[in-house]
Every structure is written in C-alpha cells, then in structure tokens.
Structure 1
Amino acid sequence: MLVCYLTDEPGKIPAIRAALEPQYPVVPRILGQEPIFAPSGVLMVDADLRQGERVDQIKHVMKDLDAIGERLFVVHRHLHHLVAQAYALGATGVVHSAKQAASKLTQVEAAMRAAESGREAGPAWMTDCGKAFAAMFSAIGNGKTIHLADAETVTSQIIASIDQNGLNGWLDNVRKYHEGTFQHCLLVTGIAVAFALDMNFPPQDVKRLGMAATLHDIGKARIPLAILDKPGRLDPDEEDIMKQHPVIGYDLLKDIPNISAETLDAVKHHHEYLDGSGYPDHLPGGQISDLVRLLTISDIFAALIESRPYRQPLSRQDAYKILCDMDGKLETPLVKAFRDVAMVA
C-alpha cells in the first residue's frame, strides 16, 4: 500500500520513512513546492495547522484529492482545535506520531483487504460522525451557530449502528478512530443509545436520549484549550472553569429553532446528582428529569472506561462497581437496569 506523504518540512521525511518503510512505501511531497498526485493507497498530511498559509495550501490540494478514500492527518500535539481543523480539512483519521501512523495504516490495510474480499469494509460512519462533531465544535469555536441537523444525523447514525451491530463494536471503533472530547461524546451517545435500546424504549425515546447525549458536552467548545487539552489533572481553578460547560452549552443552544426543552435541560443538568451535590444548580432529585438521570449514568460510565492522559481506562466491571457505589447520587433502579449494558460481553 503506497503512502503519499504531504509535509511542510523536508526534515520530517526521514522519520516517517523509518517508521513506515519497507512495509508501506512512502512517496514524499513538499506542500506548496511539488505537484501532488493521487495515490492508490493513502494520503498522509503532516503540516502545521496553526499556520493559516499552510491551511490554505492544504485546502487547495485537497480539492484535487477528494477521491482518495483514506486521508490521515498527523497532529503532533493533542490539541482539540487542531484535531477539529484536520477533520474540517477532510481527514478520515488523525494520528499523533509516526509510530501511531504505522499502527493506523495496518488497520486501514486490513479494512481495504476486507472490502476487496466482500466483507465489511470498516466504519465509514465513524468517520462521518467524527466529521460532524468536528464541524459542530469548530462552528462554535468560530462564533457560529451549529445546525441541529448535524446533531440529528450523528444521532441517527449511532442508533442505526448500535441497533445493527451492538455496543461492543461501537466502543472498540470509537477508541480506534477518535480521542479526547470527540471520543467522549461518541462514547456517551453510544452508551446512552444502547441503554435506551436495552430498556426497549420506543424509537422516538431512543432518539430523544441520543440527541441529549450528542449535544451534552457542546459547551466544551468554549472552554479554553489549555484546560480542555491539559495532559494532566485539572487544578481547582481549572476545575471551576470546566464546570461552566453545561451552562455554556445551554446558552449556545437555547435560541436554536426547534431544539427541545428536554434536550436543553439535559445539556444544562447532566452533572446534577439526586442528593443535590451536583452542578450547576444543585438540583434536588425531584427536579431532575428521567432523561437527565439516564444521561448522567451513561456520561459517568463513559468517562470511567475511556483513556485519559493521566490514567488508564477502567474495566467495565470496575466502572460499573463505581456506579453502584454512588447510591444516593444516582437512581439505584436505573443503575441496576444499566448492568446488562455495562457488563455485556
């Protein structure tokens, strides 16, 4: 499988060749200096996305390379806005190092072989979901209003995927193809949808919970990147800023036409606990809706099983035990009902 490596610095070429060759032959091209051809394999873009000139050059090049199925972007720093920029430019995947690129190419090659042999080609819907989240976060970061249709599309795709293939495959693919804020949003939505399906909710209620999950962390698009992308634990002042994201999300969404009051309630109150110890409004249990109770369980479980820079993910068994130990904060009957989702093999 041939790799067309498009970079802004010739000095990056030896490292990528050392990591990929001879298994994956690399054909390097310098952005803005050399003509780009459309390879039959994979396009890999490794350029500084913080520079407007580089972004403009990549936009120009990508117009002629839209037919290439796999477009990997190398983002050396785990920064949310750079990942969003990569997806906005047409990335189908993001890696952070030459070593990770080699691992990703192995997955891509396996998917291509599967497609050639008539098997499932891989999660194209996963790329679409990632792009939709990137578009929503990028729009907010640029002071624009998001389109509710983008959230509805993502939610419908996730519902269809989990209904057809189950939660396990969804969780595995989310971990492979996304990380950070996008990974968390995708995990929460998938888990919430699986919860609703397991409880035999009617389709309209599955979508209600799915939409709330899709949009629940949209306020993080306005949290300073130094906090959102911090590689370690937040200090108390940073934690206070992070805790503003539910109210920010509510304010961002409240004037969007046709958005439901229950979605807005879920966005604002998904960190509330039954004993009143949550935030931002310290609601007592009687004021917390059923939708929020379901979403909060899904949100906490997703956070526990996902990888963070400062800790390894918990096993699903350990994560579920923590939920069970939160008696008084979470609704115990719902936690018990969640067991089949949490512990499914």
Structure 2
Amino acid sequence: MKRSVVEMATPAGTPIGTALAALAAEDPHRPAVTTSAGTLTRRDFEDRTNRLARAYVEEGVTPDSFVTILLPTGASFLEAVVATWKAGATPQPVSHRLPERELREIIELADPSLVVGADLPDRISAPAGWSGADGFSSAPLPPMVASSLKAPTSGGSTGRPKLIVSTEPATAESLRSFAALVRLQPDGTVLSTGPLSHNGPLFTDVAALLLGCHVVVMERFDAEQALALVDRHGVDWMYAVPTMLRRTTDLPQDLLAATDTSSLRTVITMAAACSPALRQSCLDLFGPDVMLELYAATEAHAVTLVDGHGWLERPGSVGRPVVGEIEVRGPDGAPRPSGEVGKVRRRQVREESLTAAIDPAGDVGLR
C-alpha cells in the first residue's frame, strides 16, 4: 500500500515517530491498540503520544537519556515507550512488580532522566495515571532518533542488575527488520499475551504498530480468553511463551474444537525451552506451518529460528543462526565437533543486519 505521507529519513534512518505519523495520516480511524479498556485508533495513539512526548521533555527528558518505564501492561505502556522515542530518548522497561531494592538498583544504574509509573521523592517521576500531558499540543514533534533503541535489564544474570543497551538506533528500519524476521505482516492483527516489561512482547508489539498492524493487548494471560480473542479479532500473529502454550494445549478438546483459529499464520514462542512433548502438542493444535521458535533475542548477539517443520526434522533443535555466530567450545576454549557437549558461545557480527538474514522471498534458514 502506498503511503500518503512521506517518511523523511535522517542519516540514521526513519524516526519511529515519523513512521507512525505517516500511518496515522494514511488511515486515522484504523484500530491501533485494543485492550480490555477499549480501542485506540491510529490517530488516537498518535495524538496521545505526541502530547506525552512534549510533557516528558518538559519534565526534563533529553536526547539519548534513559526513561525507566514500570507501568502495568496496557496501552499506557506502549504510549510511554513511543513517547520516549519521540522525545529522542531510550526506553528502559522494567516490571512494575519489582521489589523496591531491585528497582532502586536498576534506577541507580540507569540514572534515567524520568521514571514513568512510580512516584519517587528523589527522582523526576510520573506515577501511573499521571495527567501531566493534558494541555500539550498533539501536533507532530521534530524528528528525533535516539542512538540506542532500547535498554532492557538482563533477565538471566546473577548479582547486581545489568542493562542491555542496544547498539541499534531507534529507527523504524531497526524494528521493521525484526518484524520481517519473525513473520509479522503489514496491516495484520497481533495478539500480545505477555508482560510489556519483557523484551519479546514489547518490541514485537511496536514492530507490529510500525507495520500498521492492530495490536490486541492482554493485560493478563488466560488461555481460553486468548483463543477467544483470536477468533473475535481474526488474529494472524500471536506471541506465546512455552508456559502459555502448555495452558492452551491443555484446554478441553471440545473447547479447542469449537474455537476458530484458522486466521493464525504464526504462533511464535521464545524466552524458555519448549519441550518435545509440548512441541508435538503445538504441532497437533496449530500445525507446522504456523509454529515458529526464536532463541536469544534479548541480547541479539546471535539469534536462531526454527519452524514447525524444523521441529519435526530435527527434534530438540532451536534452528540455525540467522543473525550472528554460535559455537560450542570445550574447557580449553577450542570449538567442539558436532555431537559433543560444551559451552555455547555467541558472537555478534557487527556488519550484519536483521534485514540481511532474510532472503527476497521472506524466508529464513530455519532448519
């Protein structure tokens, strides 16, 4: 579809705000985000994030600073992230359920210009439900591109919290390349089932918005409700970690048979190991063409993908690297041959992009 508003790119790429403004101008009444509270159109989402970005700047957000976001999962979380990019800053998402000590350590490490979702006496902050954006203009902001797309905390490390600061700029191209890798399609309908403080749900949602998709957000996962939302909205792409898949495949057979999931083209899983038994249950329910598994996306030093056919051909495999390099090394640091046990070493190839991992037909080396 031809865009009615030209996306003006900076040397780093197209600002995320510019890309979303083009989509809002093209089809302002198309649904953008749906939650249990209702639906925001593209124009609603554009106007709200423009006002919020101006309010953030007024509060002291500066280009390339971090904005810590710890809101509950919902439309307001996505608005805060997009407003941060529009202000030229980098979102630093964390769970709103973090213990106070851990949150303090993260904030001390990140030193954000603003904390969204908490009322902290020693930090510039905007608590949940903050109305500070009221009265600000909803007009587009000057194009801004933060040098880092994101700065999530590490979910698998020990000791003090660590930030994973992206080396990719906050551009539409960065996220659209990821979208192509995980089979998101323009103008589709996406079901977001996980906490938006987590890397997978958050950045697949924003990538989907940049493709003009309608994103249906579940504030809390429920397997039966998820299938009902797939049926109601004609969802074609769904995120589900293995625990969610287990709860779904364990539903009564009569309920599964009565729910129409034929709209689904992709069900993607990540964030934990998917057991052989669960893989088979997913294949039985959704089929090999629909299933897709992603490994190591948060750090993105090296990323692998495998689809349902790969599951069948190589049981236990997480696929082949589509970004970066992966080796298995022994105690001496030397690479181990196939079939031997060792430590996994992942290496980022700096000149490699997600776009380069995708062939012109849109396929990736999954098996």
TM-score (norm 1): 0.31
Higher RCO (CA < 8 A, seq sep 6+): 2
TM-score (norm 2): 0.30
Which structure features the higher share of helix residues?
1
